[in-house]
Amino acid sequence: MPEILSPAFVYVAGAFAALIPWRIPRAVILLAIPLVALASFVSLPYANYDLLNIFDLQLGFLRLDALSFVFALVFSLAAFLSLLFAFHLRDRLEQAASLIYAGAAIGAVFAADLLTLFIFWEGTALASVFLIWARRTEGAWYTGLRYLAIQIGSGLLLLAGLILRYHDTGSIAFEHMELDSLGTWLIFLSFGIKCAFPLLHNWLQDTYPAATLTGSVTLSAFTTKLAVYALARGFAGTESLIYIGAVMTIFPVFFAAIENNLRRVLAYSINNQIGFMVVGIGIGTPLALDGTVAHAFAHVIYKGLLFMSVGAVMYRTGTAKASELGGLWKSMPLTMAFCVVGAMSISAFPLFSGFVSKSLILSASADTGHFVVWLTLLVASVGVLEHSGIKIPYSMFFGHDRGLKVKEAPLHMLIAMGLAAALCVGIGIWPQPLYGLLPYPVDFHPYTTDHVVTQLQLLFFAALAFAMLIRYGLYPVELRSINLDFDWFYRRLLSGMMIVVADQVRTAWRGLVRSVDYRLDRLLVAVYRTHGPEGILARTSQTGAMVFWIAVLLGITLALTYL
């Protein structure tokens, strides 16, 4: 068999194209790299390629099967779209970083063993942090450091876990695992951090809104979906994932509803969407896993599209704050249209991509008798519509006209958004090609009457609620005059309670973080006092002190041997 290399290496080698000094040729060549990489594996038969023996371990860099293929395919698409969206970029550091980042993510998806996975896992962390640092502000610098610490920490957990597992089983193959040993628990935790499990999620909202406007498009595609892939590969059918996922779908809804920064709203909604996938993995039936994969596929595209539309607005207006935007539909009609397509996809309107993928997970949870979970997912779906489906387009393009006079987004952004929107609609109308790619054979028809009707009812009631809240000025971001009307008192109380609860949770969490921060600072000061350049442990010592230690150690050894 001829030697076939992992497409990850195409990206890494391609990153050198960022050295080309002329802007347009550079951007064109960079744009070609995902396509070249895609072409290198798209027509290969499913098998294990690119094996390497390192001392007594066998590494596999290219495991091509249905699961890895779908993820690699959508990652390639995402890499292409985000590079196209960033066509105007002059910053070579960011261009090189996004290529290596995409390459590492694809490399991780193709990894046949845990060690290779670890290498690329850390690769995604190291490359992606430059998308944050590319903003070159003091704040972005520290945000990046926090992000890096968490991501590297996740990698180290993975490393520790894989070593323990190697010791237990004598194999580092990346296969299905059971949570029955410390090693697998560490690996699970490592995946959980990258997947932004509840309480491990803060890096996500901290980081994504802090990246450059093109950087957050790239970021939204890879890291968390890589974790979804890893969970699907390693821990499918682990029951605790169902409940973790259900919590993930529900808790960001409140935060997203009261958040003003639209990129942070989208970051919360990533949590929520990943939650659906995690539930699917936890259920672990073929239908559920197919749902997870399909939803991940659709999600990468519509989430990218939403980040692109917010990015385009930010590019023209310089802000992503809901309170400073509004009424842009006149000046940016195309962006508005694409954004609405993305919003309808994420809210799972029939004929859009979210509908055909999310239905799989919902059906799977209902089929397996997880009624509470199913209900939670339904409620969460309403939340999605609330904060991503309506709030995002509404606050940018409609709502209050803030009199912003801007131009339509640049052509390359429009093309990137247009392609993504076309994919969203295409998948929604003709789901069969996507279903054909899934790991298990699908015999599922999304467009049955009850699916469509349930979904539409849900959507219309959610839309109604939003309209009511807006009409009566109760929507958190839009809070202006409050119209007291007894009829709606109950509703208002409820939504008010939601806000209060969210506020309380947030305050408590901040307090906790602050106190941990404070202790950490104290600890660091103490460490610095002893270990710093002037500290007792780092000073140039007197010979007397050195001799003292010799005497002490000799004494101890003598005592030990005489005992």
Q: Which residues bind another protein (CB under 8 A)?
A: 54-55, 115, 118-119, 122, 133, 152-153, 156, 159-160, 163-164, 167, 182, 527-528, 531-533, 535, 537-538, 540-541, 543, 545-547, 549-550, 553-554, 556-558, 560-563
User: Minimum distance between the CB of residue 527 and another protein, rounded to whole angstroms?
Assistant: 6
Q: Which is nearer to another protein, 375 or 526 (CB)?
A: 526
Q: Which is nearer to another protein, 24 or 54 (CB)?
A: 54
Chain center to CA of 137: 23
User: Minimum distance between the CB of residue 216 and another protein, rounded to whole angstroms?
Assistant: 20
User: Minimum distance between the CB of residue 179 and another protein, rounded to whole angstroms?
Assistant: 18
Q: Which is nearer to another protein, 430 or 548 (CB)?
A: 548
User: Minimum distance between the CB of residue 40 and another protein, rounded to whole angstroms?
Assistant: 22
Q: Which is nearer to another protein, 38 or 134 (CB)?
A: 134
Nearest CA to 127 among 106, 105, 101? 101
Q: Are 194 and 223 in contact (CB under 8 A)?
A: yes
User: Minimum distance between the CB of residue 171 and another protein, rounded to whole angstroms?
Assistant: 14
Q: Which is nearer to another protein, 52 or 513 (CB)?
A: 52
The DSSP secondary-structure symbol of 236 reads T
Q: CA–CA separation, 3 vs 50, rounded Å? A: 7
User: Minimum distance between the CB of residue 447 and another protein, rounded to whole angstroms?
Assistant: 48
The DSSP secondary-structure symbol of 113 reads B
Q: CA–CA separation, 531 vs 539, rounded Å? A: 9
List alpha helices for 390-488, DSSP H: 392-397, 411-429, 432-437, 449-471
CB-based burial, 334-363: b 16+ in 10 Å, e otherwise: bbbbbbbbbbbbbbbbbbbbbbbbbbbbbb
Q: CA–CA separation, 449 vs 323, rounded Å? A: 40
Q: What is the DSSP string of 357-393?
A: HHHHHHHHHHHTT-HHHHHHHHHHHHHHIIIIIIIHH
Distances (CA, A) of 77 to 36, 67, 129, 186: 12, 16, 21, 32
Q: Are 222 and 296 in contact (CB under 8 A)?
A: no
User: Minimum distance between the CB of residue 166 and another protein, rounded to whole angstroms?
Assistant: 8
Q: Which is nearer to another protein, 159 or 204 (CB)?
A: 159
Q: Which is nearer to another protein, 152 or 415 (CB)?
A: 152
- If phi > 0 it is left, if psi is from -120 to 50 it is alpha, else beta; for residue 393 that is alpha
User: Minimum distance between the CB of residue 145 and another protein, rounded to whole angstroms?
Assistant: 9
User: Minimum distance between the CB of residue 462 and another protein, rounded to whole angstroms?
Assistant: 45
Q: Which is nearer to another protein, 93 or 437 (CB)?
A: 93
Q: CA–CA separation, 458 vs 471, rounded Å? A: 20
Q: Which is nearer to another protein, 484 or 546 (CB)?
A: 546
